[in-house]
């Protein structure tokens, strides 16, 4: 099956978690938002679905995925659908639900990271809420990141199935790819904070390093399809928010 991923061009954002799964699995897909408008892509193609959805189950916002007649929204929901089909999640119900639970927790963390640079409103510029962002970032670095990352570290440290530790079983799955992306993003956004935290996360960093070497993923990460982190996405680097 050929998949169509709809997400904003120019940023990694929440769509990147889905791209990593599709790329790692070598899936046949097209990133519609990054196609030129003359080829039926770009922001206009996304907006057409949002403004006049041709589905009984319209998405509130990107990312969403077209798979045959299905139009599926929300990052964790899309990965719940794709995981077993791409060989990146268990096919039994208990395994699928566990991976989904972990992915939803990652979604919570991602939301907190985003809200650091937009603590009052997403409709305001960062410069309009800089003081509030600086205050909130201190709590994120001191309390929230250690709590979230410590949770995933405990799960990895306790999972001894397979060769190397993974979050939801003995083989790398989509939730492991997502944790890789979180670590990459946090290293970009909060390099000082992550240098202090990483010695306490040996299993998570080992998983990150194994994921980075996976053949298809490594090729993607080295390609121009991997948009660099930037100050328009979720993971943004502002020196004053990193305690610098």
Q: Tens digits of per-residue pLDDT, 40-92?
A: 899 999 988 887 666 678 889 999 999 998 999 999 999 999 999 999 999 99
Sequence length of the chain is: 244
Residue 226 has a pLDDT of 97
Q: Which of 240, 215, 244 is nearest to 117 (CA)?
A: 240
Q: Which of 49, 19, 53 is nearest to 34 (CA)?
A: 19
Q: Do 77 and 189 reside in the same domain of the chain?
A: no
> Which CATH number covers residue 65?
3.40.30.10
What is the mean pLDDT of the segment spanning 96-113? 98
130 — pLDDT class (breaks 50, 70, 90): very high
What is the mean pLDDT of the segment spanning 11-30? 98
Q: Do 112 and 228 reside in the same domain of the chain?
A: yes
Of the candidate ranges 137-146, 165-174, 205-214, the one whose mean pLDDT is the lowest: 165-174
Collapsing DSSP to helix, strand or coil, 10 comes out as coil
> Which CATH number covers residue 156?
1.20.1050.10
Residue 25 has a pLDDT of 98
Rg (CA), the chain: 18
118 — pLDDT class (breaks 50, 70, 90): very high
Domain range for residue 34?
3-86
What is the mean pLDDT of the segment spanning 158-169? 74
Q: Do 54 and 142 reside in the same domain of the chain?
A: no
DSSP letter assigned to residue 65: E
Considering the chain, what is the average pLDDT of its residues?
A: 94
Q: Do 112 and 232 reside in the same domain of the chain?
A: yes
Of 65, 86, 107, which residue sits at a domain end? 86
Terminal CA-CA length for the chain: 48
């Amino acid at each position: 099956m050929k998949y169509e991923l709809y997400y904003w061009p120019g940023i990694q954002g929440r769509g990147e978690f889905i791209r990593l799964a599709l790329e790692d699995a070598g899936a046949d897909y097209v990133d519609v938002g990054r196609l030129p408008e003359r080829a039926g892509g770009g922001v206009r193609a996304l907006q057409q679905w949002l403004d006049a959805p041709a589905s009984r189950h319209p998405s509130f916002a990107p990312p969403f995925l077209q798979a045959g007649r299905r139009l599926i929204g929300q990052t964790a929901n899309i990965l719940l659908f794709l995981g077993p089909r791409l060989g990146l999640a268990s096919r039994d119900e208990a395994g699928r639900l566990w991976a989904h639970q972990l992915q939803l927790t990652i979604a919570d963390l991602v939301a907190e990271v985003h809200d650091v640079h937009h603590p009052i409103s997403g409709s305001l510029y960062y410069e309009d809420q800089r003081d509030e962002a600086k205050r909130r970032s201190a709590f994120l670095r001191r309390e929230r990141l250690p709590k979230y990352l410590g949770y995933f570290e405990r799960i990895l440290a306790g999972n001894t199935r397979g060769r190397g530790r993974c979050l939801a079983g003995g083989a790398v799955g989509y939730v492991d790819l997502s944790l890789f992306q979180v670590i990459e993003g946090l290293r970009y956004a909060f390099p000082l904070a992550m240098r202090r935290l990483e010695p306490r996360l040996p299993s998570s960093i080992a998983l990150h390093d194994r994921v980075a070497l996976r053949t298809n993923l490594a090729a993607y990460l080295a390609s121009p399809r991997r948009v660099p982190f930037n100050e328009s996405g979720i993971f943004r680097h502002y020196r004053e928010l990193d305690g610098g």
